[in-house]
């Protein structure tokens, strides 16, 4: 009996097993690379365009109007993402994850390149900023489509015992992209002066990252078309013609309850992300008196640290379970994340070192929930509507947190503006813990069709 078992152990893997392993690896690489392209593109207007807005906005425009216009550039992307998730979720569930991903990434490449070629106010007046906002809206639609299709595909190819780690490897590209694009912008600003509408950075320096973003999208598209297979879970689901619309299924019965639960969770996640990525750098500059270069360096460090924690968070959720992970992370945000934010906001000239440490702690804890999110969100929905459920659940929750600036004003009237960000981060932590607590355990979920 021992000899038989020993012989079986030494038997080489079958060609079918080798083929499956290769397909799984390629699908995971596709998920990682696609999400990096997605996140790189998302941060372009936030970081790259900020020093070059004078190219699009007339200098005689009042500061309030200029700020609103600049905000529209980012808001247009946020509006486009839920729309794209709904459109491409249905495409992915009805015609295949692979086809939906190819269409979405092609759209990202074209939209990003067109933005990099836009003329400014001096040439076409307000048409320049109008076209920028329109293209970012369109880009947001395709961005929402990319992760809606590619991530379920990658998760469906991943064995259940590795989904947590695989999710962390995919989502770690978000802080990695922020780190890369912040570093790239910092280098470009050192080489090309910025400021005036006709400065080298304002005229053409900002275009370089957009061209790079378009080229990354094309490179990913080539890899995906050549190497990534369609999901077997989708192929084995009931024929598309026999299905009720995925959107209709999503808003009925148990699926509606699942959507409501992940909406609570993701609302908390997005609230905390907005504080971490948008408010913390401003606090560091205001309280510690950091220069824009120092703030950028601090953000790069915080992003690099967060990149390393995502796979660890995903693996931890696989060991202890998704439900206790999100309850625990919610509590960690309430205590440590908001605590570090409060200390940063209330400090009196803490210096660069202390400001860097507090920002890194708050930032890393604040976005830790994203580690296993790709696995958890896809595990919550059945194969026939998985892309639609994941995409809408992930993107629709962006809407309420998008108005975080107004919430800060309201909280500031209660707890003083100094500590409003810490309070709002704690509220986000409560939503994360609550969203995790009211949901089921999913780490052992079978993602194949019933």
Could you report the per-residue pLDDT of 88-98, keeping only the tens digit for each? 999 999 999 99
Domain 18-227: homologous superfamily in CATH = MFS general substrate transporter like domains (1.20.1250.20)
Q: Do 146 and 34 meet the contact criterion of CB atoms below 8 Å apart?
A: yes
Record the tokens describing residue 396, joined without a space. Answer: 């629709």
Tell me the domain boundaries of the chain.
18-227, 252-450
**Would you say residue 240 has pLDDT above 60?**
no
| pLDDT score for 151 | 95
Q: Give the mean pLDDT of 210-218.
A: 96
Q: Do domains 18-227 and 252-450 have the same CATH topology?
A: yes
DSSP 349: S
> DSSP letters along 73-121, please?
HHHHHHHHHHHHHHHHHHHHHHH-HHHHHHHHHHHHHHHHHHHHT---H
**Would you say residue 337 has pLDDT above 50?**
yes
Q: Give the mean pLDDT of 334-341.
A: 96
CB neighbour list of residue 145: distance below 8 Å, 6 or more residues apart: 84, 85, 87, 88, 91, 100, 101, 103, 104, 107, 391
Q: How confident is the model at residue 259 (pLDDT cuts 50, 70, 90)?
A: very high
> DSSP letters along 7-21, please?
HHHHSPPPHHHHHHH
Assigned CATH class of 252-450: mainly alpha
| pLDDT score for 338 | 96
**Would you say residue 285 has pLDDT above 70?**
yes
Distance of alpha carbon 336 from alpha carbon 157, whole angstroms: 36
Residue spans of alpha helices (H) in 289-446: 292-320, 322-332, 338-346, 351-366, 373-379, 386-396, 404-415, 420-437
| pLDDT score for 15 | 56
**Would you say residue 218 has pLDDT above 70?**
yes
Distance of alpha carbon 320 from alpha carbon 401, whole angstroms: 29
Distance of alpha carbon 331 from alpha carbon 338, whole angstroms: 10
Lowest-pLDDT range, 67-71, 146-150, 221-225, 319-323? Answer: 67-71
**How far are the Cα atoms of 326, 337, 362 from residue 275, in angstroms, in the given order?**
18, 10, 9
Specify the higher pLDDT residue, 121 or 257: 257
Q: What percent of the chain has pLDDT over 70?
A: 92
**Would you say residue 61 has pLDDT above 90?**
no
The CB density around residue 127, as the number of other CB atoms within 10 Å, is 14
Question: Nearest Cα to 44, choosing from 187, 184, 199, 194?
Answer: 184
| pLDDT score for 18 | 60
Lowest-pLDDT range, 142-151, 343-352, 394-403? Answer: 343-352
| pLDDT score for 343 | 92
Q: How confident is the model at residue 4 (pLDDT cuts 50, 70, 90)?
A: very low
pLDDT tens digits for 415-449?
888 899 999 999 999 999 999 999 999 999 988 76
Question: Nearest Cα to 394, choosing from 266, 223, 274, 218?
Answer: 266
| pLDDT score for 284 | 82
Distance of alpha carbon 58 from alpha carbon 171, whole angstroms: 38
**Would you say residue 155 has pLDDT above 80?**
yes
Decide: residue 64, CB within 10 A, 0-12 exposed, 13-18 middle, 19+ buried: exposed
**Would you say residue 67 has pLDDT above 70?**
no
Q: Give the mean pLDDT of 217-223.
A: 96
Q: How confident is the model at residue 7 (pLDDT cuts 50, 70, 90)?
A: very low
Question: Nearest Cα to 432, choosing from 374, 384, 369?
Answer: 369
pTM of the entire predicted model: 0.88
| pLDDT score for 3 | 44
């Amino acid at each position: 009996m021992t000899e038989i078992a020993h012989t079986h152990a030494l038997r080489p893997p079958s060609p079918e097993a080798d083929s499956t392993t290769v397909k799984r690896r390629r699908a995971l690489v596709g998920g990682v690379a696609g999400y990096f392209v997605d996140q790189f593109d998302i941060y372009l207007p936030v970081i790259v365009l900020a020093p070059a807005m004078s190219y699009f906005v007339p200098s005689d425009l009042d500061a309030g109007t200029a700020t609103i216009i600049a905000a529209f550039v980012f808001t247009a992307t946020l509006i486009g993402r839920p729309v794209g998730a709904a459109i491409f979720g249905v495409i992915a569930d009805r015609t295949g994850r692979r086809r939906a991903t190819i269409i979405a990434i092609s759209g990202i490449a074209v939209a990003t390149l067109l933005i990099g070629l836009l003329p400014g106010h001096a040439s076409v007046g307000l048409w320049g900023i109008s076209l920028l906002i329109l293209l970012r809206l369109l880009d947001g639609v395709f961005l929402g489509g990319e992760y809606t299709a590619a991530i379920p595909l990658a998760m469906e190819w991943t064995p259940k015992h590795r989904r947590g780690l695989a999710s962390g490897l995919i989502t770690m590209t978000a802080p990695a992209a922020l780190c890369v694009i912040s570093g790239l912008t910092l280098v470009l600003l050192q080489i090309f002066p910025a400021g005036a509408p006709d400065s080298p950075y304002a005229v053409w320096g900002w275009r370089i990252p957009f061209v790079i973003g378009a080229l990354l999208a094309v490179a990913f598209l080539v890899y995906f078309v050549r190497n990534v297979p369609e999901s077997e879970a989708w192929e084995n689901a009931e024929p598309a013609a026999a299905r009720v619309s995925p959107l209709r299924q999503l808003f009925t019965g148990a699926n509606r309850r699942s959507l409501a639960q992940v909406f609570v969770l993701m609302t908390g996640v997005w609230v905390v992300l907005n504080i971490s990525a948008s408010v913390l750098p401003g606090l560091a500059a205001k309280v510690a008196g950091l220069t824009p270069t120092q703030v950028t360096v601090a953000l790069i460090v915080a992003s690099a640290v967060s990149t390393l924690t995502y796979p660890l968070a995903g693996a931890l959720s696989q060991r202890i379970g998704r439900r206790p992970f999100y309850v625990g992370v919610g509590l960690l945000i309430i205590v440590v994340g908001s605590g570090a934010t409060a200390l940063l906001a209330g400090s009196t000239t803490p210096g660069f070192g202390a400001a860097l440490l507090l920002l890194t702690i708050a930032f890393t804890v604040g976005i830790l929930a994203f580690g296993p999110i790709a696995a958890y969100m896809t595990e919550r929905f059945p194969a026939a509507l998985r892309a639609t459920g994941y995409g809408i659940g992930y993107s629709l929750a962006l809407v309420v947190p998008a108005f975080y600036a107004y919430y800060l004003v309201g909280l500031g009237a209660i707890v003083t503006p100094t500590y409003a960000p810490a309070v709002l981060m704690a509220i986000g932590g409560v939503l994360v813990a609550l969203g995790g607590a009211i949901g089921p355990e999913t780490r052992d979920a079978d993602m194949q069709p019933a």
